[in-house]
Amino acid sequence: MGEDEVVELCRDLIRIDSRNAGDNAGPGERAAAEFVAGKLAEVGVEATILESDRKRANVVARIEGTGESGEALLLHGHLDVVPFDAADWRVHPLSGEVADGCVWGRGAVDMKDMDAMILAVVRKRLSEGRPVRRDVVLVFTADEEAGGDYGAKFLVGKHPEVFEGVTEAIGEVGGFSVTMGDRRLYLIEAAEKGMAWMRLTAKGRAGHGSMLNAENAVTELAEAVGRIGRHQWPVRLTPTVTRLLEELGADLDRPEEAVAQLGPLARMIGAVLRNTANPTMLTAGYKTNVIPQTAEAVIDGRFLPGHEEEFLATVDDLLGPNVTREFVQHQAALEFAFEGPLVQAMARALAEEDPEGLAVPYTLSGGTDLKSFNRLGIKGYGFAPLRLPPELDFSGMFHGVDERVPVDSLRFGVRVLDRFLDLC
């Protein structure tokens, strides 16, 4: 068990279709939840499946510790994945194929790899009779890719008892390596931007497309979308971003120069130097010669910790007088100090497997289920440890074509997580 089975666990999870397009009409997470619950049952862990809707299933379980600590630790992962177009891929996204030293498929890095690592570590420890020091709560959620209404939000709102005694958590998008010259850094997520998915609506006067119309809703909307999409947001250095830049040896007056050293990862890290607002969807009209009364757009807005008020005020200024906004999803930004026993345990576990690596904090440009768990007072970090080959465009794997994770990285992650549980 352990690192000897993590690859097969990852492949098995990838082969289970749990696509989530955000419309609650896909295959759901039930099959994946049953797989996870079954693997836990094989080593004596009683897991419960909690469905928020038909097929929208979450798995929860608790492993009792030795009593050395009264505070419980949450290990969480989500079971849903984003959609794909199989024609664009080198291998089928549900194949779980192993090729070129990697496991391929949708969810390989987001985040069935971490789900597999958690399962592998738990199965190994329990089969060997090795206890954990503190209670460990396992949560595998539905619906993370669409904001968590059927997953983390449901659990926090309807089943808070699952999290009794939990004070800290680890989850996705952190603990992966980036190589800079002769340095290997392991980026642990200590902060994440807030989410402001917004629907913009412009209302005008309907009419014939051949006539003059100074109240065209499409024109009003297009101008607002253009202003928002082209807006140059100012740099705002938060404590976590500043700490990372200092580790990179950056001139804080020119942070973009330091971020550029990160190669493809600069797309992710560059996005946490400032707030962002990207237009993603447009809807208007139903016939060529009819000016519609209403036009709509969707904006993916992300704001830095401590800068939500500034972000929303700027968006409102850019909208103009004839366009309104409403939230599709609105979730807080998070930031936790990169210090304390849990952080020390993560850093030490990494160092014991890779003495030349250095653990550093970073801010995630997206969001995770931790936003929901934090409503219960739980602080957490992104820690899905992977030692990656320098040439791999890891950030490009998230929601991308040909998503894959190296086999050796999965095995490394199991060893690190196993050490981490001994230390925390």
What's the pLDDT at 4? 87
- Average pLDDT over every residue of 274-281: 98
What Å distances lie between residue 352 and 114, 200, 244, 372, 424, CA to CA? 20, 50, 22, 32, 14
CB atoms within 10 A of CB 284: 17
The tokens of 179 are what?
């190589």
Confidence of residue 337 (pLDDT cuts 50, 70, 90): very high
Of 247 and 160, which is predicted with more confidence?
Answer: 160
Query: Phi, psi (5° rounding) for residue 169?
Result: -150, 155
What's the pLDDT at 323? 97
Sheet holding 194-203, edge to edge: 276-284, 294-303, 194-203, 323-331
Q: Residue 415 CA to chain centroid, in angstroms?
A: 22
Helix intervals (H) in 182-331: 217-230, 239-247, 255-260, 266-270, 308-319
Residue 181 scores a pLDDT above 90: no
SS (H, E, C) 262-293: CHHHHHHHHCCCCCEEEEEEEEECCCCCEECC
**Poorest-pLDDT segment among 46-50, 119-123, 181-185:** 181-185
Please give the Cα distance from 315 to 337 (Å, whole number). 29
Q: Which residue has the tokens 């800079």?
A: 180
Confidence of residue 258 (pLDDT cuts 50, 70, 90): confident
Nearest CA-CA partner of 187 in 247, 130, 273: 247
Residue 261 scores a pLDDT above 90: no
Over the chain, what is the mean pLDDT? 96
SS3 16: coil
Of 303 and 261, which is predicted with more confidence?
Answer: 303
Helix intervals (H) in 67-174: 112-127, 152-158
Residue 138 scores a pLDDT above 90: yes
What's the pLDDT at 84? 96
Confidence of residue 267 (pLDDT cuts 50, 70, 90): confident
**Poorest-pLDDT segment among 180-189, 199-208, 346-355, 411-420:** 180-189
What's the pLDDT at 389? 95
Residue pLDDT, tens place only, 354-375? 999 999 999 999 999 999 999 9
What's the pLDDT at 395? 87
The CATH number that domain 194-231+277-331 falls under is 3.30.70.360
Instruction: Provide the terminal-to-terminal Cα distance of the chain, rounded to the nearest Å.
Output: 22
What's the pLDDT at 2? 78
- Given the candidates 3.10.129.10, 3.30.300.30, 3.40.630.10, 3.40.50.2020, the CATH classification of the domain at 2-190+334-423 is 3.40.630.10
Residue 69 scores a pLDDT above 80: no
DSSP 234: P
Please give the Cα distance from 326 to 309 (Å, whole number). 15
Residue 134 scores a pLDDT above 90: yes
Residue 415 scores a pLDDT above 90: yes
What's the pLDDT at 419? 98
Residue pLDDT, tens place only, 116-132? 999 999 999 999 999 99
Percent of residues, the chain, with pLDDT higher than 90: 90
**Poorest-pLDDT segment among 260-274, 327-341, 383-397:** 260-274
Residue 176 scores a pLDDT above 90: yes
Please give the Cα distance from 402 to 409 (Å, whole number). 17
Domain boundaries, the chain: 2-190+334-423, 194-231+277-331
Helix (H) or strand (E) holding 167: strand 166-171
Sequence-ordered list of residues with C-beta below 8 angstroms from that of 19, at least 6 positions apart, any chain: 26, 27, 80, 81, 82, 83, 84, 106
Q: Residue 320 CA to chain centroid, in angstroms?
A: 32
What's the pLDDT at 37? 98
What Å distances lie between residue 251 and 187, 247, 267, 365, 399, CA to CA? 20, 11, 19, 21, 32
What's the pLDDT at 266? 87
Residue pLDDT, tens place only, 192-207? 999 999 999 999 999 9
Residue pLDDT, tens place only, 344-357? 999 999 999 999 99
Answer whether 299's CB lies under 8 Å from 276's CB: no
- Average pLDDT over every residue of 25-38: 97
Exposure pattern of 265-282 as b/e (b: 16+ CB <10 Å)? Answer: beebbbbbbbbbbebeee
What's the pLDDT at 259? 86
Answer whether 38's CB lies under 8 Å from 66's CB: no
